[in-house]
Amino acid sequence: MNYNVNEKGYYGVFGGAYIPEMLYPNVEELRQNYLKVMAEPDFQKEFQQLLRDYVGRPSPLYFAKRLSEKYNTKIYLKREDLNHTGAHKINNTVGQILMAKRLGKSRIIAETGAGQHGVATATVCALMGMECIVYMGEIDIARQAPNVARMKMLGATVIPALSGSRTLKDATNEAIRDWINNPVNTHYIIGSAIGPHPYPDMVTRFQSIISEEIKWQLKEHEGRENPDYVVACIGGGSNAAGTYYHFLHEESVKIIAVEAAGLGVDSGESAATSILGKEGIIHGCKTLLMQTNDGQITEPYSISAGLDYPGVGPMHAHLCKTGRAEFMSATDDEAMKSGLELSKLEGIIPAIESSHALAIFEKKKFKEDDIVVVSLSGRGDKDLDTYINYFKL
């Protein structure tokens, strides 16, 4: 079984490029060039150097001793939270801005939900001196004021998405409309492993540094490259894609994806796409998405803005359908509890997204000598308000 994208842009039946003709030249230009550009030694040199000197890679693979003792198994945390800007998102934006430069683009657009991808995009635009426009749902702008301020400090223009439900899905629609209106000079930096081909593959490749590092770091720790499990939370699925990438075809490595169940999978307030979703088309790709019987895309819910997306990347839809990955979910309450637990046991305050991945230890029993690597995709600073309100701190 092949879990990578095929030459037509599909992962099994998922993927493709379901885009209006207006976007075809842009997406086609990218499709024809992205692998070529990424293979250039000059590109690789600049990318690797920025990952090291600017992002602060490699991020540590940390053996979480007290957490391991509690759950009687061996838990390693991949510390993406220690990256510049506080999450894995920067790996992709560094890669894409270098791509945009080589394609001769001068203007960058992006969508953002909680603001992490927006901040990571604004950051690399400042670094490269490029114009940056970030679309963000009007409702998200109100709930994520510090990240809006960060983007502004970094020189970006933040445009509120006023259509539809005024959240991430609509911010993505607005970014796509901007791209339609500016087809020549603009590159769209998509933040997740979604969108028309080649975006899911390109984002996955830029994020694959995560699993590349896990391999050699685990070898140092344990004398072996492959863990028994890799675990990541999934919204669109960029940190998960990067965490899984180099293990996809290692049969001994089991893959666990953790979705946000919100108030409960059956509560009507959830973002567990693999359970609630059906095959359909969202933002240019065929994948699993939450929709009505009539094919209208519905609004998900999660306490974590980064997992609050009605679809899932096409690679993940394929991993789910083929059974290569085990899909689990964690509710708001379970995630919040795990976030607090990690803070107290290890002195690490995780992003609420990442807390979802940690919540599986209460739900699944691992063997004492299992090695479980969890992607700690982001830090909890941005979520402090939510933690304060939830725990009445």
Partner 1 sequence: MNRINQKLEESKRLLSIYFTAGYPNLNDTVTIIQNLEKSGVDMIEIGLPFSDPLADGPTIQASSTKALQNGMTSEVLFGQLKNIRETVKIPLIIMGYFNPILQFGVEEFCKKCSEIGIDGLIIPDLPVDVYNDQYKATFEKYGLVNVFLITPQTSDERIRFIDSISNGFIYMVSSASVTGSQSGFGEEQTNYFKRIEKMSLDNPQIIGFGISDNTSFTQATEYAKGAIIGSAFIKHVTSFGINDVDKFVSKILKA
Instruction: Answer whether the bond into residue 58 is a cis peptide, omega within 30°.
Output: yes
* Contact pattern from residue 23 through residue 42 relative to partner 1, giving x for each residue in contact according to CB under 8 A and a dash for the rest: -xx-----------------
326 carries an active-site annotation: no
Q: Which is nearer to partner 1, 277 or 339 (CB)?
A: 277
Is residue 104 close enough to count as binding partner 1 by CB under 8 A? no
Q: How far is the CB of 68 from partner 1 (least distance, A)?
A: 44
355 carries an active-site annotation: no
Coil, helix or strand at residue 249? coil
Question: CA geometry: angle at 74 spanning 72 and 80, to 5°?
Answer: 130
Question: Of the candidates 59, 68, 93, 173, which one interacts with partner 1 according to CB under 8 A?
Answer: 173
Question: Of the candidates 18, 62, 63, 390, which one interacts with partner 1 according to CB under 8 A?
Answer: 18
Task: List the strands of the sheet with 74-79, edge to edge.
Answer: 61-63, 74-79, 371-376, 229-233, 254-262, 325-331
Positions 106 through 165 that interact with partner 1 (CB under 8 A) = 163-164
Helix locations, the chain, DSSP H = 24-39, 41-50, 65-71, 89-102, 116-128, 138-143, 145-153, 168-181, 199-207, 209-222, 238-244, 273-276, 314-321, 332-346, 352-358, 384-391
Please identify, among the stretches 11-19, 59-67, 151-159, 252-260, the one whose residues bind partner 1 according to the rule CB under 8 A: 11-19
Q: Which two tokens stand for residue 97?
A: 């801005």
Coil, helix or strand at residue 254? strand
Is residue 169 close enough to count as binding partner 1 by CB under 8 A? yes
89 carries an active-site annotation: yes
Distance separating alpha carbons of residues 35 and 198, to the nearest angstrom: 9
Distance separating alpha carbons of residues 355 and 258, to the nearest angstrom: 10
Q: Which is nearer to partner 1, 12 or 164 (CB)?
A: 164
Is residue 60 close enough to count as binding partner 1 by CB under 8 A? no
The active-site residue out of 89, 105, 169, 286 is: 89
Q: Which is nearer to partner 1, 133 or 303 (CB)?
A: 133
Is residue 180 close enough to count as binding partner 1 by CB under 8 A? yes
CA distances (Å), origin 234, targets 16, 69, 112, 142, 264: 20, 26, 16, 24, 16
Positions 236 through 295 that interact with partner 1 (CB under 8 A) = 278-284, 291, 293-295
Is residue 7 close enough to count as binding partner 1 by CB under 8 A? no
Distance separating alpha carbons of residues 346 and 348, to the nearest angstrom: 5
Q: How far is the CB of 27 from partner 1 (least distance, A)?
A: 10
Q: Which two tokens stand for residue 281?
A: 């088309």
Q: Which is nearer to partner 1, 23 or 128 (CB)?
A: 23
Q: How far is the CB of 56 from partner 1 (least distance, A)?
A: 37
Distance separating alpha carbons of residues 189 and 186, to the nearest angstrom: 10
Are the CB atoms for 352 and 304 separated by under 8 Å? yes
Positions 295 through 354 that interact with partner 1 (CB under 8 A) = 295-298
Positions 61 through 100 that interact with partner 1 (CB under 8 A) = none
| Helix or strand (DSSP H, E) at 259 | strand 254-262
The active-site residue out of 80, 111, 259, 341 is: 111
Q: How far is the CB of 284 from partner 1 (least distance, A)?
A: 8
- List active site positions: 89, 111, 377
Which positions touch partner 1 (CB under 8 A)? 16-22, 24-25, 163-164, 169-170, 173, 176-177, 180-184, 278-284, 291, 293-298
